[in-house]
Every structure is written in C-alpha cells, then in structure tokens.
Amino acid sequence: MTDRTAPVPGADAPTRTVLLRGGEVHSPADPFATAMVVERGHIAWVGSEGAADAFAQGVDEVVDLGGALVTPAFTDAHVHATSTGLALTGLDLTAARSLAEALDLVRAYASRRPADRVLLGHGWDAARWPERRAPRRSELDEAAGGRPLYLSRVDVHSAVVTTALLDLVPGVHPHGDDEPLTKDDHHAVRRAALAALTPAQRAEAQRAALDRAASLGIGSVHECGGPDISSPEDFAGLLALAAEHPGPRVHGYWADRDLDLARELGAVGAAGDLFVDGALGSHTACLHAPYADAAHTGTGYLDAAEVAAHVAACTEAGLQAGFHAIGDAAVTAVVEGVRAAAEKVGTDRIRAARHRVEHAEMMTPQTIAAFAELGLTASVQPAFDAAWGGEDGMYADRLGVERARTLNPYAAMLKAGVPLAFGSDAPVTPLDPWGTVRAAAFHRTPAHRISVRAAFAAHTRGGWRALGRDDAGILVPGAPADYAVWETGALVVQAPDDRVARWSTDPRSGTPGLPDLSPGAELPVCLKTVVGGREVFVRPQG
C-alpha cells in the first residue's frame, strides 16, 4: 500500500534535541522508563533516570516532567472536522434535555447569528427527550424566524429542517411535517446547508476542531469526508489548513468510488463513510431481521457486488478501500464483497492493503472470523455503547434487548485477531480519548469488555496500523515524536473484571501502567501535546 502519511503540521520538523526526565514514560521499550530523548522529530532514546544523566549535557533543552505521565499521542480514527467545529462553536443540541429546550436553543442561536445565510446545528436525540419525538417543521419555522435551518440528528444520518431550507433544495419532498429527512433527501439538504458556509466560516470550524483535538492529547485524526458528507472543497481545505496550522496530523479518507478524485484530493484511501447502510438511531442501518420498533429492515446503499468491485479496484490502484457498515446485513454485504474481491486479486493482496470498515457494530461470530481472515481493520467507536447501550438504551429500543446485547463485541474481535482502531465519529460523540478507552474497558455488556491496555493500544497504535504504519503510535526509538504529557493519579495495570485477561500489577511483570479509568475516577488532564517533535498544545498555567 502506498504511504501517504500526513506531514507534520506547521513546518519542517524541529532540529532541537530535547531530554524529558523525571516522569513516567509509557513505553514497551522500557516499562520502568522515566526519561526520553527527542531528536529531529523522532524518539531517539527511552530509559531510566540514572541513564538520562549521560544525555543531559548534549541536548538543547532539558524538560523536568515533575512526575507527569508521557504517552503516545492518541489517534482518533474517525472524525468529521468541519461538523465537529460547527458543533463546538455553534448550535449544539447534544445537551438538550427536552424538545422544548432544544427549540429554545434554536431561538437563541438564530438571534445571535443574524447574518448567517443558513443556520446549522447538530445533536438532537428524541430518544432522550420526554416528548419522544423530533421537532416538527412548523415548530422549527417559528423558532428560526422563518430562516433556513439544518439540524442533524446525533448520528448524522437524518435531519430536521425548516421550510425555508427546503425551498433552496429542489427535488426534496418530505413525507409530512414531523418526519426527519433520511437517505438521499437528507444528503441533498446537508449539501445545501454546508454549501452556504463561507470559506472563512469553514476554516474557523476546522481550526476549532483541530485545536480541541490537540488540547485532548490527540496527535492524529482520520478525516472521513465524501460527496454525501461534505464537499471536495471542504476536504481539500482541511488538508491545506492542517499542513500549515500547528495541530494534529490529518489523514484524509474520501468516501467515493471515483478513485481518480480521491487521489487528486490527496486522500489516503477511497474509504471512510462510503455508505453500505445508515444508522440504528435513524432506522436506516440495514438488518437481516426487522427492527423491534419499526416494520422494516432499514436501508442498503451498496450490495456485495458493488463492494467487491470497489475493493478490487482500490487494491489494484494501491489505495485503501473502506465502508461504513453498522447493521448485520450491511456487514455481511461487506464481508461477501471483500471475499469476492480476494478471489479475483488474491487474499494476500487484500490483507496487505488493510482495507477498513467503519463502525462494524452488529458483528456475528462468522463476520468476526471473516474480518480476521481478510485483514479488515474495524474502525470502531466505544462511546456509542456508552451512549446507547444497556437494557434501557437506544440499541434496545431499536433491536430488542437480546440483539442489543450482541453489539460492539470488542473482546471477541480482539480474541479473533481483528485489528481495532478507536475513534469518536465526532461530532456524533465528542472528542474524548480517555473516555473512549474507559468505554471499551467498561462496556455495558460485560462479555465485550477489553483491558485498558488493549483499549489504549487501539486508540494510539491502532489508528497508525490502520494507515499501514506499524512504526508509529508507540514511544520507542525511531518512532515519530507524537506524544502527550498528562497530569494524572497513580498508574495501575487494570482490567475491569474477571472476564478480561489480567496482567500482573507486580512491577516485576514488566507491564507499564496506565491511569485508573474506573467509572467515576477523574480522567487525566492534558498538559502538552507534541506532534513530530513540535508543540501543538500547551495548557495555560493557573
């Protein structure tokens, strides 16, 4: 596979040599490491405090960590930067506790933004509201003062809009006043809403998203763009901004079967949110059996033959292929398609390409085995389970309790050898790397829990491996100097219960510790984020 790794943002790698000492360095090279040397944007040495003395006179700078923890920077393997930034800087409904509160937030936002051509917002979730219904168009028309308004549901697979926005999108004919838009109608209104952003608004949102990521110890993000999600201008603008703006590396995936366009845009792959289906919350994930609360099986966008053709073409072209697949029928279509492509171009070439599947929520023992056989990376979001799992969550509403318990089976996937890369799908769930690790370790279904150590690896090294890089996301000599410095409590070697294989907490075991992520425990605070040896975030003092 061609290496199209994102460059270090901001400038060339720094030439200064830095010794960090007096902390805890999370490294498999030395589980007792307290010091690290960074030279020309890479890790040069990791070791003990006593050995660090030999380097102190030959470096340009010595940093006293004061007991802080140093880890590899996180990689968020699935984000939508512009939408994330708009949610951070604009109308975010994720905290709305009722329909009435959401409408009040719309009114307040509309009054603050009189010059916006189109109002954009995100994050409503009627399943959490006492009214148990989406906003009606007439209610939004009143709240927005008759202006164009687009509000995406929390899963970004359906939306509610005002009449004024519909007037700007010929060909969209919604069914009634109270039904959210889905499928092609949703894609059409989203394109129209995002097209109304000025370049300055878009760049402001993208900077906000990247700055937030850097402040959380995230050193790389995988941007999942595509014609049904953003626009070529948005995607190219983000990559250009990331090359200049000090912040996380941005690896772009363009979800399109037009491989020439993906290459032209500088994408790592024609992958990401290339939709095989939709989402459970919007009743558009494609299922083998009907929903528990709707008399249908969702929506399929690509079949196995179309998957096979795309995977074969990408493999021949040296690009990663990848798909969005959530429902069990959609995951089956991906597996059947990739297997058919393997029959055409060879299983070894398919495995070497490291094609990927986003979300992969409704897995079965058969599809898990197929992922392992075909070398498919599962790019997954543990915060989905934290938000919607459990016997009284949205998954149970949509699927019934028994089917809901099968979702996101991370332990079985790891046991089978399926590579995991963790992300947020921001703005669907927030950028929150330690919270993501906690969500996987304390999955709502105990049988699916994995150790903190395995979850941390999936959120650091896993994202790099998904790109075809096995030499990054880890603090060892020769690796890129992408790391974060944390204020945290005592380090432990933690597994959530006896279903998960434990590592000894005895220091003689040689297993480096990580923060205590038990539910209710304080999460680490990021003090500094470094990408390629260059500081991209430093927490202000005081």
Tell me the pLDDT tens digit for each residue of 375-423.
Answer: 999 999 999 999 999 999 999 999 999 999 999 999 999 999 999 999 9
| Cβ partners under 8 Å of residue 506, min gap 6 | none
Q: Is 4 helix (H, G, I), strand (E, B) or coil?
A: coil
Question: Could you tell me which of 200, 205, 199, 325 has the C-alpha nearest to residue 255?
Answer: 325
| Residue pLDDT, tens place only, 94-122 | 999 999 999 999 999 999 999 888 999 88
pLDDT at 496 over 80: no
Say which residue, 355 or 123, is predicted with more confidence.
355
Instruction: Please determine, for residue 503, whether its predicted confidence score (pLDDT) is greater than 50.
Output: no
| 478 CB-contact burial (10 Å; exposed 0-12 / middle 13-18 / buried 19+) | exposed
Cis check for the bond before 427: say yes or no (omega within 30 of 0): yes
Query: 450 in helix, strand or coil?
Result: coil
User: Residue 90: what pLDDT?
Assistant: 84
Provide the Cα torsion 348, 349, 352, 355; round to 10°: -120
- Residues 25 and 475: beta-carbon distance below 8 Å: yes
Integer Cα distance of 215 and 248 in angstroms: 10
Who has greater pLDDT, 493 or 85?
Answer: 85
Whether the model clears a pTM of 0.95, i.e. scores above it, the answer is no
Virtual CA dihedral for 38, 424, 300, 186, nearest 10 degrees?
-120
CA of 487: how far to CAs of 68, 323, 531, in Å?
5, 37, 19
**Which residue's structure tokens are 């990580």?**
514
